[in-house]
Structure formats: structure tokens, C-alpha cells
Amino acid sequence: MYYKILLLFVLCGCVSVPYGTQEIIESEQQVTRITYPVTDSTLINDQIIEIVQACRNSFSLNSQERQFSYQQYIEEDTVSFLFTCYEYGLTSHSTYTALTYHAKTYEEYGIQELGEYSQIPIEEDHDFYLDEDTIYVPDGDSIQTYPRNKILSIPMIQVDGRNEEESEKSKPKVALTFDDGPNARYTPKILEILEEYDVEATFFVIGQQIKSHENVIMDMIEAGHQIGIHTFTHRDLTKLSDQEILQEISSTKEVLKEMGYTATIVRPPYGSYNEHIVKLIKEPLVLWTIDTRDWESKDSKKIVSLVKNTVKNGDIILFHDMYASTVEAVEILVPYLLDQGYDLVTVEELISNCKLSCVKE
């Protein structure tokens, strides 16, 4: 298993923390991307694998693109997953499955356990997914949504009194991350926005661009942002030899070290890796939970809408500090997320605020 990956769902709170894993299969005709959580419960993992396998078995031979992905929400001792099985060919088709369970006992919950708190007019028991506002009930290729009672917590979520310091520590946290920089035009603008609101982010930089943008790197360091390695030349690591992979990492690390900064995390270009790469690279690999696809849309409205509709506690959001539209989106999203009660932190801080370990070595 991919146990060294600091990936996908890094969550804060006293819960059983899921780890992520990803499988990418590419051919000339089709691309398959499988992303699913791995928990410390064999029982839960077996259920998840069954859901993944059912999705894979449903894929048609002539589809051009296949995906299995998931969303997750954590509240107190409750972990909730929403799985999406998607394929694109002559037509596109999605199916949905949910799994919600107690993080300590691993007891699975259905709609019936919500009882009067759910106010859902469903007589038969169903799996469900929840977030702070809504309860989602998947039914094959559709999802029914119901407003969640915000006054009363559902039975398995116990709310106790907290002092001000504990409340601050328990605030939802999100890490903004930026790839492919530094960029002389757009990275400084993003740094200005972050400085205006006194928040920190993580920048995964390309080694060969550091020397010509040393002033931007120094601004990152002085502002307290985290800098991660995005390789030296942005090559797909799965297509390189071991020596080339290690050179991509070490060269970038060395250039940063010359500037007085020690990078401790790596994000593989294109999110592409395999089990061998995980074992080969000493540093943890960090992916993301929300891909804004800003490089594709170059549309600030789409970027903002995507984040607003999907963001949750513990998310790692992927941007690229390469586009004007990304700058525009960040200018809107930073104050929005703060107004929603989120702390915007570095990946390192997101990890350090977890009450349980977020990385398996």
C-alpha cells in the first residue's frame, strides 16, 4: 500500500484519519483514474475495496475515460464518504455510493440511525453522506439531498463544551497550494493577497525556475509560506529511471537549500506516481483533495464555484500560480473562506494540527 503518501484527506480532530491512494492507468485509447481512501480499519477498507471493484466491473470497454473518486466529511467521531464512479465515452455516466461510520468503533450508519434528526421521508434504510448543511442519499445515478438539522446534532455526534483555546484549535482548516511556479507576474500578486489577509499557503516550485525568481522565493520564505518540491524540470516521474527521479528531487532541494530553505515535502508532476516511487523518494508525497483545474478552465468564476461547492475541513486545494484567472479566484476565495470560519494554513500546519498521525511510514 502507499503508506508514505501525505495525501488526499488530511483531517483535523480526534478521529481515525484516512489515508489516500491513487491508481492511474493510461493507454492510447483510455485513461483510468482510481482514487480511494485507506483507513486503519480492515473492515472499512474491505467495504471500500468492494465499492471500488464494483465500479471497475461496471466500466464499459469502449469508454475513453474512467474515474473513481470520493469526497469526505469529518465531524467529531463520524467519518462520511461519498464515492463517484464515472465514465466518459459516447455518453457520460455517473453512479454514487455512500459510507458513513463511527471513527472509533467503525460501526456503519444508515438513514434509520439518524431518526428524528434527519427529517428524511425515507422508510427503508439507505447509506448516506453528510456535511455540515446537507444529508445526501445516493440512489444509483442520482442523489437525493435533504437539509440537515443544524440545531440538533445527529445521535452519533456528541458535542461538548470547549474553552476558547480548544475552539480555536478545532476550527476547520484548509491548505491552499500552488504548483508550477514561481511565476514573475502572478506569484507576487498571490503573495500580496495572502499578506493582505495574513494567511499562509504552500508553494510547490519547479527547481529550474528558482534561480531566475530568487526574489519571489525569498518573499515566500519571509512571509512564512511553506515551499515544496515539484521536481526540477516537471517531468512525469513514472517515466524516469531511479537515478533521474532522485536527481529531480535533490537538484530542487539543493537550490532551495542554497537560499536557506529546507524543503520537506514533494508533489509529483501531474499527480503521477506508483508504489516504487513512493518507496524510492524519502520525502512524503502530497497530492490534493480539490483540483480546481484552473489550468483548464482559466475561468475565475468556475474556479470559485468549484471550491465553494466542495470545500470542507482538512482539504488541500490545488491551484497553479500561472494564470490571471487564478489570481482573480484567490482574491475572492481567501476572504470567503475566512468568512466561512476556515483557517488557511500550510500543509505542514494542517498535518501538525491533526490529533492522530496523518502519515504512515
- Active-site positions read 179, 320
Terminal CA-CA length for the chain: 11
Instruction: State residue 309 phi and psi, 5-degree precision.
Output: -80, -15
E strands in 184-333 = 202-205, 226-229, 290-291, 316-320
Between CA 50 and CA 153 the distance in angstroms is 30
Element (H, E) at 142: strand 142-147
Between CA 35 and CA 55 the distance in angstroms is 12
Q: Which amino acid, residue 306?
A: L
3-class state of residue 153 by DSSP: coil
Angle at 312 between CA 308 and CA 318, to 5 degrees: 70
Element (H, E) at 349: helix 347-352
Angle at 92 between CA 128 and CA 315, to 5 degrees: 45
Using the structure block, give the residue that is written with the C-alpha cell 533521474. Answer: 244
Between CA 84 and CA 176 the distance in angstroms is 24
| Backbone φ/ψ region at 13: left (φ over 0), alpha (ψ -120 to 50), beta | left
